[in-house]
Amino acid sequence: MITNDFAPGSPCWLDLGAPDVRAAASFYGAVLGWDYRSMGEGEDMEGGMFQKDGRTVAGLGRLTEEGARPAWMIYYSVTDADATTAAVERAGGTVRVPPRDLDEWGRMAQYDDPLGGQFAVWQPGTTKGVDLVDKPGSLSWTELYTSDAAASKEFYGEVLGWRFSDMDLPGGGGTYSMITPAGLPEERMHGGVMELPAEHLGLAHGRPYWHPVFNVTDCDAAVARVTENGGSIQMGPETAEGVGRMAVCLDPSTADFVVLTPAEG
């Protein structure tokens, strides 16, 4: 589970890079019940915060990187962004955005893992992370789709200190590796790694990619809102025993995310 104590190695923030900020704000407002708070003024919104019941759940910004696809970026908490950057480079990753301070809020950096999967880290200052997690309308899990799970686990284990526990998927669907931050018990698992053939990673042209899983009270109703508001469904809804009912969704700009109604108990 994700908590907002944001222990090192755990997800603490996420933001969406969208080609149309206003359209993205409208879509996620309809699907997840989020309010959008612009950080700018006037009609030309460049970015801001998503909130649920007055509590920040994610960020939103205009996608400006040439050739980049609309996508969610997940940030993991670290105690030293510069030391993490050195670890990324030693482990074969690439620095996309070198460590930099964002006023007094904290220090961030963004990377590519050795296979091209993009992720980020956050060294907290006055801001530790989002305000709401693991509740309806907020982040409850993170997931990496990769063509080489073993290589991905080696990299992230070295860089972020993660431990992994493997489980066989039903029906011969392969192995799913669950992620636990270093030094924490398994009930603090916050994500998973799923190996897929490169041809099934078309959203990122064969490269790995991370996506967020959002808790919702009714998966099927959320799926209906996705399609009613211009999004589409990649998979589901389907029920996974002991996990819950879920669907893999695309917003109108094809940024991917998952909605999950957790199993009871």
For residues 217 and 162, membership in a common domain is answered with yes
pLDDT at 39: 79
- What is the reported pTM? 0.95
For residues 230 and 174, membership in a common domain is answered with yes
> How many domains does one find in the chain?
2
For residues 144 and 120, membership in a common domain is answered with no
Which one-letter DSSP state was computed for residue 169?
P
**CA distances to 17, 31, 76, 84, 142 from 14, in Å:** 10, 17, 9, 18, 10
Residue 218, pLDDT > 70, answer yes
For residues 80 and 118, membership in a common domain is answered with yes
Q: Mean pLDDT of all residues in the chain?
A: 94
Q: Residue 171 belongs to a domain with what CATH number?
A: 3.10.180.10
For residues 18 and 73, membership in a common domain is answered with yes
Highest mean pLDDT: which of 185-199, 214-228, 234-248? 214-228
227 in a domain, yes or no?
A: yes
Domain span including residue 146: 139-262
| Share above pLDDT 90 across residues of the chain, in percent, rounded to a whole number | 81
Surface-to-core class of residue 264, CB atoms within 10 Å of its CB (0-12 exposed, 13-18 middle, 19+ buried): exposed
Residue 17, pLDDT > 60, answer yes
For residues 144 and 258, membership in a common domain is answered with yes
5 in a domain, yes or no?
A: no
For residues 255 and 147, membership in a common domain is answered with yes
133 in a domain, yes or no?
A: no
Residue 173, pLDDT > 90, answer no
134 in a domain, yes or no?
A: no
**Model confidence band, residue 4 (pLDDT cutoffs 50, 70, 90):** confident
76 in a domain, yes or no?
A: yes
Written as six digits, the tokens of 30 are 């309809």
